[in-house]
Amino acid sequence: VSNAGVGMAGPLECQSLEAMQSLMDTNFFGLVRLVKEVLPDMKRRRGGHIVVISSIMGLQGIVFNDIYAASKFAVEGFCESLVVQALRFNVAISLVEPGPVTTEFEAKLYEEAERADYSRTDPETADIFTNLYLRNSKDVFASLGQSPEDIAEHTLRVIEAARPPFRHQTNVAYTPMAALKHADPSGALMTDAFYKLVFKYDAVLRLSLR
């Protein structure tokens, strides 16, 4: 089970390349290093199961989570490319894709975001992040957040499955969001829906979450 991960949220201009590279080294290359270690022996034994804790953000990018989403997209592409070869050797690969999970990880991330310096971006972007994104995120976590124990139970079900799934989403509330991309390959439907959700109907969103 590959579960190591770090988060990053905020305006792109306010994040250093060094921090981005560090995140990718943990979230993506950490997984790559692990798989390189365990896969050869699994192939020799013609049996094994690699379970990767990914994220719904590996399927759908979320505003102000550019680099974190990129790392999870990389995880998803890596596993999707590898799974067919692995199956030839009777090795299963599964992606567990949670939405928001209420942990100290998230609490620390948002505490740091509230104290961060946003002078390197324009005032409008800083205002959108602090007064729209952070406020809405707290409501999302309070309303839709799962516990670590819940994610562990989902992961256990994937491990114990007779035919392990390649993808397993833990929160049904996010299934429609992920489905928007498949409904319209041009991306217009998804982009329009998220734009309106963030900038036109944010008050409705907060009310519905509460």
Active site residues: 68
Report the alpha-carbon distance of residue 37 to residue 52 in Å, rounded: 15
Token pair in block for residue 126: 């800083």
Burial 108-121 (b: 16+ CB within 10 A, else e): ebbeebeebebeeb
Report the alpha-carbon distance of residue 34 to residue 27 in Å, rounded: 11
Q: Which of 3, 2, 6 is nearest to 109 (CA)?
A: 6
